[in-house]
Chains A and B, each alone.
Chain A
Amino acid sequence: MTGNVLNFPILSILIFLPLLGAVVLAFVPARNKEVLRIVTLGFTLITFVVSLVLLMHFDSSTYKMQFIDRASWMPSIGVSYFLGMDGISLVLLLLTTLLSIVAVLCSWSAVQERVKEYMIHMLILETGMLGVFVSLDLILFFLFWEIGLIPMYFLIGIWGGPRRLYANIKLFLYTLLGSVFMLVGMLALYYAHGNITGEYTFDLLKLYEVVYPYNLQWWVFLTFFFGFAIKVPIFPFHTWLPDAHVEAPTAGSVLLAGVLLKMGTYGFLRFNLPLLPSATIAFTPLILTLSVIGIVYGAFLALAQTDMKKLVAYSSVSHLGFVMAGIFAMNLQGLNGGVLQMINHGISTGGLFLVIGMIYERRHTRMMSEFGGLSKVMPIFAFFIAAIVLSSIALPGTNGFIGELLILIGLFKFSLFPAAVAIIGVVVGPIYMLGMYRKVVLGKLDNPKNKVLKDLNLREVLTLVPILILILWIGLYPKAFLGLTSASTAHLLEVVKTNQVKAGAAVAFNVGDATHAPEQGGHR
């Protein structure tokens, strides 16, 4: 534990700044829409600056948790308020704070109704997302995990599309289903740790210290798997995603794709791999199979879509299949590629939802058949969507390329077959993405409604510029980003490899008493 170099609770400040913003907004009269927007933007900007301070003081040479911040909360059951972060958290924090700014900017003119509530929900959502990435106590993690659901429920439920009610309850129940099982899994770990060490705690770092018997690992992995796989989403748990995306307002889609889906993959990295290494190895074939199916299935479904948002939603299923495959290839290239691809997907898919939102705001349709030849009336738009599409299909020179390449190398190293199948996804990706680009931007401008479309204004360009910078920056100089996470990923891999051996040895001694122990405690 590196402790906290700054000696002040910067992580608490980071996660509660947006919430403070929400409180401030509550006191701004609802009719001052411009003031509401500016205050929200201000708070997301300050939060971003705070996350940059973290970046500046971050020590990338260690995997250990930094900027630790803890306080007592429910000591009688071993729950504490415990924050800390490593490289993987850091890049996700940066992604979250940046995309939050983007999300506020893109709702500037798109949301005219009930601006106040909308902005309050955005800020609460940011607090929830940031909290997930820095919580080192299982219960605290669960708290932020669930809190993120509520503003999302409203963003879709109030500002969403026509089928929002259906999409909403599907999203909420799916996620809740996963998370209640995750909670049961957490309790199992809590008791296992207590039975082995005598200390009952939800402190993640303490839970890390124990090697759990294989049997228990297997079951806990299964519960965590449900919780996280639904969020990712891994095939076949993905069906809520297209519905939620289609009905969500643009900013909701941006944050959903950009950040919320990463909570699932982050959960695997933070909990499953280091806590349950033996089970991780045991589940690897299953997860790789599902991921590879997801890559191909998502890609082909995307190919069949006529609605742009649905297309991008299904492409997310495919891309997150890549991320999961990278993580579970269980080697350094795959893992690094997976982590980088989490960020890349946030940038490129976030960007795609943004540009789609921009033309939706102009035309109120997302059907590709309604468009064509937009490059003639909207050249700036055409440029940005081209850049983002290229990043999404992983053209060399863009961020997507580095991530996908690393994942494929990792997969090949693991085994030839899954890599070969994943290649199909790489091939189909450009077909649907470029197909969309061709149908919407290129070709003849034959729909009269499109002839009068205005090109992007300054605010919209400003929204997209950070995305473009990141695409090129990561694409051309990936070392800067990989360097932040490499210590953590290397350590993670080492933990899985060594603990797996230890757990194998521990099975003989522990499995008997530790699996039955939870059952003995009752009826005293």
Chain B
Amino acid sequence: MTQDMAMASWPILSILIFLPSVGAIFILFLKKEETELIRWMGLGISLLVFLLSLYLPLTFDASNPGFQWVEKAVWIKTFGIGYYIGVDGISLLLVLLTTFITVVCMLASWRDTTKKLRAYTALFLFTETFSLGVFMAQDLFLFYVFWEAVLIPMVFIIGIWGGKRKLYSSIKFFLFTFLGSLFMLLGVLVIYQYHGSITGVYTFDSTILALTPLAPAVQFWVFIAFFLGFAVKVPMFPLHTWLPDAHTDAPTAGSIVLAAVLLKFGTYAFVRFSLPLLPNASMQFAPLMIAISLFALIYGALLTIAQKDMKKLIAYSSVSHMGLVMLGIFVLNIEGLKGGLMQMVNHGISTGALFLLVGMIYERTHTRMIGDYTGLFKHMPVYGVVFFIVMLSSMGIPSTNGFIGEILVLIGAFKAHWFYAVVVALGILLGAVYILWLFQRVFLGDYHYVGGRLKDLGLRETVTALSFIVLIFVIGLYPKPFLNVMDASFTKLISQMEQNYKKAELRGKTSNVTAGLSDNIAATVKETER
């Protein structure tokens, strides 16, 4: 386990994590009136972080399944909490997605936001810090800290710069995720206690924890606790109701980062922690998870068809798309996992781009109602073409990135059971229905908008949109490097799961654990182990 860990020669990951925060603090000290400077500073810092993050794929060793550029330091010694960060094939693409999306957020709010610009820009940079932390932290406690911390800037972004029902939406968002996270913390503590009581080593280091799996009965409860924490974030049906509200009321850049980055926390955490730490429970719960995912895929798509507000439409489509990601993960084979991760990245790209595009039109007209427009293609051809390509990606049409993820998930799903593949096929079809219908209503037909003729995209907008288009086709036509990156890590993950599964089975037989969630029980476990 530790032998394939590559320590960092210089703290690149820490720099990536904290550079945005340093920049944010610097921005807070600028003068309020210098709006242009604040904007350029925000863009500059996020660009710098993005360029720095490109160092990772350039020096990434795809044959090494373990963590790379690892930094380890003791943080709170008495509780075994460490500052332990590292990136492997599973988190690499998500780290890149985060740094890329933050640049996009800066560009997207260029004209959109004028109110309290300093705080706004700084909050996005803080969000970047915490998001990168989530994807890099390998210490469960550190992970929890970043996970919770990201809530703060996000709640403020929605609550201050949001739309009509911003207070309601931001509080709902906060309560849902916060309650979920408390359960997750509880789960983390159970693992910590349990591991300590068996081995005598009290630590939150996930790689060490993964060496000694919990007894299946304990796993069962920890899985549920983790599930409550992660599923809210995904969001999985029926815990998704905060999402449409948060999206509708968030400012454009907030929606982008929420959809593209924050929704990936949940699915990432399932892969990173639930699968290797709780393999028996994961397998036990897999049928249920698959059922929920398939239901969400279809149900989300049906809800999407009925939407009249573009942002709500995209928000509900996320429920459907994230169902596909979850399905890929819980069919528990390598194709499905790769497809799931690929779909996380793809969803980040396509949904991020869709929110960006809806934001562009909203900036012009201040309405997002589908019924308010028709025939936009006529006066906004560039916008129309970009929108269409992003839609193709969202539908998973071959030659776009969406297809690569979809076909992998399909292959994985079929491997588990042919019926799953049929349901996915139906979901894909429904996806095409709402997307095409949206395009028809808004872009085709004769031009009509009450406010008269609308301007096509400007240079800044075109460049922002173009970066998404490039990604869509590069991944779609040449997916090999992206899939190669994850190969080794997923192979290792699966073998680790299998090993832990067997170990835990043995442990389950030797101890008489009755399921429970308190320290007492962990203590009983300790007794019986002896």
| A residues with CB within 8 A of B | 72-77, 117, 139, 142-144, 146-147, 149-150, 153, 157-158, 164-165, 168-169, 172-173, 176-177, 180-181, 183-184, 187-188, 190-191, 518-519, 521-524
Contact A181–B480 (Cβ < 8 Å): no
Contacts A73-B480, A74-B479, A521-B415 given: A143-B399 contact, CB under 8 Å?
A: yes
CB of B56 within 8 Å of the partner chain: no
- Name which residue of chain B comes closest to A519, CB basis: B417
Contact B333–A157 (Cβ < 8 Å): no
Can you list 27 A-B contacts (CB < 8 A)? A74-B483, A76-B484, A77-B408, A77-B411, A117-B381, A143-B398, A143-B403, A153-B436, A157-B440, A157-B444, A164-B444, A168-B444, A172-B432, A172-B436, A176-B429, A176-B432, A180-B428, A181-B422, A184-B410, A184-B418, A187-B411, A187-B418, A188-B418, A191-B414, A518-B418, A522-B333, A523-B331
Rounded to whole angstroms, the CA-CA distance of A522 and B445 in the bound complex is 47
Q: How distant is B178 from chain A, measured CB to nearest CB, in Å?
A: 33
CB of B421 within 8 Å of the partner chain: yes
Rounded to whole angstroms, the CA-CA distance of A207 and B477 in the bound complex is 24
Contact A183–B410 (Cβ < 8 Å): yes
The 7 closest A-B pairs by CB, nearest first: A522-B416, A143-B398, A180-B425, A521-B415, A187-B414, A146-B398, A157-B444
CB of B437 within 8 Å of the partner chain: yes
Contact A191–B483 (Cβ < 8 Å): no
Q: How distant is A189 from chain B, measured CB to nearest CB, in Å?
A: 11
Rounded to whole angstroms, the CA-CA distance of A522 and B282 in the bound complex is 13
Contact A187–B421 (Cβ < 8 Å): yes
Contacts A74-B483, A180-B428 given: A169-B414 contact, CB under 8 Å?
A: no
Q: How distant is B496 from chain A, measured CB to nearest CB, in Å?
A: 12
Rounded to whole angstroms, the CA-CA distance of A76 and B488 in the bound complex is 12
Contact A74–B333 (Cβ < 8 Å): no
Rounded to whole angstroms, the CA-CA distance of A190 and B411 in the bound complex is 9
Contact A184–B444 (Cβ < 8 Å): no
Contact A523–B332 (Cβ < 8 Å): yes
CB of B314 within 8 Å of the partner chain: no
Dominant SS at the A interface? helix
Q: Which residues of B contact A142 (CB under 8 A)?
A: 398
CB of B217 within 8 Å of the partner chain: no
Q: Which residues of B contact A523 (CB under 8 A)?
A: 283, 286, 331-332, 416
CB of B498 within 8 Å of the partner chain: yes
Q: How distant is A166 from chain B, measured CB to nearest CB, in Å?
A: 9
CB of B189 within 8 Å of the partner chain: no
Known: A142-B398, A143-B399. 12 other contacts (CB 8 A): A74-B480, A74-B483, A76-B338, A77-B408, A143-B403, A157-B444, A180-B429, A183-B425, A187-B421, A518-B418, A522-B331, A523-B286
Q: How distant is A195 from chain B, measured CB to nearest CB, in Å?
A: 11
Q: How distant is A79 from chain B, measured CB to nearest CB, in Å?
A: 8
- Name which residue of chain B comes closest to A190, CB basis: B411
Rounded to whole angstroms, the CA-CA distance of A187 and B432 in the bound complex is 21
Contacts A147-B399, A157-B444, A184-B418 given: A524-B410 contact, CB under 8 Å?
A: no
CB of B456 within 8 Å of the partner chain: no
Q: Which residues of A contact B211 (CB under 8 A)?
A: none
Q: How distant is A237 from chain B, measured CB to nearest CB, in Å?
A: 15
Rounded to whole angstroms, the CA-CA distance of A176 and B480 in the bound complex is 26
Q: How distant is A158 from chain B, measured CB to nearest CB, in Å?
A: 7
List B residues 322-373 near A (Cβ within 8 Å).
331-333, 335, 338
Rounded to whole angstroms, the CA-CA distance of A522 and B140 in the bound complex is 29
Rounded to whole angstroms, the CA-CA distance of A77 and B415 in the bound complex is 13
CB of B147 within 8 Å of the partner chain: no
Q: How distant is B440 from chain A, measured CB to nearest CB, in Å?
A: 5
Contact A173–B429 (Cβ < 8 Å): yes
Q: Which residues of B contact A524 (CB under 8 A)?
A: 332-333, 494, 498
Rounded to whole angstroms, the CA-CA distance of A184 and B424 in the bound complex is 9
Contact A146–B397 (Cβ < 8 Å): yes
Rounded to whole angstroms, the CA-CA distance of A177 and B411 in the bound complex is 18
Rounded to whole angstroms, the CA-CA distance of A218 and B222 in the bound complex is 45
Contact A188–B333 (Cβ < 8 Å): no
- Name which residue of chain A comes closest to B407, CB basis: A139
Choose one: B338, B392, B417; the contact of A150 (CB below 8 Å). Answer: B392
Q: How distant is A23 from chain B, measured CB to nearest CB, in Å?
A: 13
Rounded to whole angstroms, the CA-CA distance of A191 and B421 in the bound complex is 13
Contact B433–A173 (Cβ < 8 Å): yes
Rounded to whole angstroms, the CA-CA distance of A521 and B412 in the bound complex is 9
List B residues 467-526 near A (Cβ within 8 Å).
479-480, 483-484, 487, 494, 498
CB of B69 within 8 Å of the partner chain: no
Q: Which residues of B contact A143 (CB under 8 A)?
A: 398-399, 403
Q: Provide the B440-484 mask, 1 if CB < 8 A to any CB of A, else 0.
A: 100011000000000000000000000000000000000110011
CB of B204 within 8 Å of the partner chain: no
Rounded to whole angstroms, the CA-CA distance of A384 and B291 in the bound complex is 61
Rounded to whole angstroms, the CA-CA distance of A72 and B480 in the bound complex is 9
Contacts A169-B440, A180-B428 given: A522-B417 contact, CB under 8 Å?
A: yes
Contact B494–A158 (Cβ < 8 Å): no
Contact A522–B433 (Cβ < 8 Å): no
Rounded to whole angstroms, the CA-CA distance of A259 and B432 in the bound complex is 24
Q: Which residues of B contact A153 (CB under 8 A)?
A: 436
Q: How distant is B297 from chain A, measured CB to nearest CB, in Å?
A: 13
Contacts A143-B399, A146-B397, A146-B398 given: A158-B444 contact, CB under 8 Å?
A: yes
Rounded to whole angstroms, the CA-CA distance of A180 and B403 in the bound complex is 12
Rounded to whole angstroms, the CA-CA distance of A169 and B444 in the bound complex is 12
Choose one: A147, A164, A181; the contact of B398 (CB below 8 Å). Answer: A147
